[in-house]
Amino acid sequence: MKAFIITIGDELLIGQVTDTNSGWIARKLTPLGISIVGKISVSDEAEAITNALDFAQAKADLIIITGGLGPTKDDLTVQVLADYFKTELVFNENAFDNLKKRLHSYEVELSPSHRAQSYLPESAILLDNSLGTAPGMWFEQNEKIFIAIPGVPREMKAILEEGIIPKLLKHIEGSVLYHTFLIAGIPESQLAEKLEGIEEALPVFLTLAYLPQLGNIRLRIGGIHEDKHLLAQAIDSLAGKIRKKLGTYLVSEQDVNFAQAIGKLLVDQGKTLATAESCTGGNVAHLLTLNSGSSAYFKGSVVAYANEVKKATLGVKSETLAKHGAVSKQTAEEMAIGVRKTIGTDYGIATTGIAGPTGGTPEKPVGTIWIAVSSKEKTISKKLQLGNNRLTNIEFTSVLVLNMLRKVFLIQKEP
């Protein structure tokens, strides 16, 4: 099945709001064996929406539309869809009752515009919106499926997961299976070279997808076959071959984020972690605490941006700062040791550097960053020489220091 995504709203076109819906929808549909063949953002104009529908249905079997379902005058999607499918707008009592219940729970007074929101295309199959007032709508015409859902991300996600995906599964032929590897410490190009022989021998019903991010790569095996048992065997066999090639570059075989994978390793070993951050400004702690259950292994963080904090809170020596500077191997190691002892954890990690784009010197240019990891037995550190993009430097450093913890302390041997 091929899908096309249409997002509606002037705010998307002028950059006032960033379209995160399309990426999220694509990530949910792809594992079902649905290929995203295109996406487009259009204005809140009837003609623009109609043209987008014509274009999309010529390319795909499934068209998903987000936005324009609210109660205001610029929300035109409902009327456009009624016209497009040559159906009438009729007052829907069930939709109105659901809307009243939602508004009552939100302590919002019912208005005429809310009542008008319950006039919906007669031919639409309504999809319950458990988090908002506008229902989703499902149309079928000429063996094509058209789905309209609100543009509010949390409402869109709820409708897709609770109502749309279960219905779509009934339309998908054959079994779809995926297996995902989370990999770190190797560039994408080297990984591709390492797996070249395996990739060349892939069965026609299996695919390998490389999904690189800063500091790590997701490698996804995907397959579609009418025989689910045969498909599962083929994927297991391929996964075994890849696993042997990856060695300790392999972080996880669960579809989790990088910090989650590190957290699971810490939980499995009954170890705890604290962070001391300068140039990353708390981003490592942020990545860890984004994940539910992180209190089992992450105990706290010190954002020691100023030298005074490095000294007073983490115990970095004045002579270390005077002789080597804040951006140095010695300071990074003392920060990692200090936070481990101060908070009382098995491991301490530290970051200190010049994230940029200003602040560099000829001796320590922008992008010079030191990372360190400490346990009771040993402390290690590494110098990074990155670029001058501040956000990239912060994000990349955060992943690299977590991976250093993994490689040195949480697994048995280097690749």
Crossing angle of helices 46-57 and 77-84, in 10° steps, is 50
Which tens digit of pLDDT belongs to each residue from 163-194? 998 898 888 777 778 899 999 999 999 999 99
Which tens digit of pLDDT belongs to each residue from 79-118? 999 999 999 999 988 888 888 887 777 777 877 777 787 8
**Residue 226: band (very low, low, confident or very high) from pLDDT cuts 50, 70, 90:** confident
Which tens digit of pLDDT belongs to each residue from 4-62? 999 999 999 999 999 999 999 998 898 787 889 999 999 999 999 999 999 999 999 99
Query: Which range, of 61-65, 128-132, 388-392, averages the lowest pLDDT?
Result: 128-132
Look over the chain and give the mean of its residue pLDDT values, rounded to a whole number: 92
Cα separation of 396 and 216, whole Å? 9
Domains of the chain: 2-169 (3.40.980.10), 175-252 (3.30.70.2860), 258-410 (3.90.950.20)
Q: Is the predicted pLDDT of residue 130 greater than 90, yes or no?
A: no
Which tens digit of pLDDT belongs to each residue from 369-387? 999 999 999 999 999 999 9
**Residue 412: band (very low, low, confident or very high) from pLDDT cuts 50, 70, 90:** low
Cβ atoms within 10 Å of 63's Cβ, excluding its own = 22
Q: How far is CA 214 from the centre of its chain?
A: 12
Give whole-number Cα distances, 171 to 126, 175, 185, 364, 406, in Å: 18, 12, 40, 59, 43
| 370 SS3 class | strand
Q: Is the predicted pLDDT of residue 415 greater than 50, yes or no?
A: no
Which tens digit of pLDDT belongs to each residue from 196-219? 999 999 998 998 989 898 899 999
Q: 136-141 and 144-149 as β-strands: parallel, antiparallel, unpaired?
A: antiparallel
Query: Which range, of 253-257, 261-265, 336-340, averages the lowest pLDDT?
Result: 253-257
Q: Is the predicted pLDDT of residue 392 greater than 70, yes or no?
A: yes
Q: For a pLDDT cut of 90, what percent of the chain falls above it?
A: 76
| 351 SS3 class | strand
* Among 400, 362, 54, CA closest to 214: 400
Cβ burial of 190 (10 Å; 0-12, 13-18, 19+) is: exposed
Which tens digit of pLDDT belongs to each residue from 229-241? 999 999 999 999 9
pLDDT of residue 65: 96
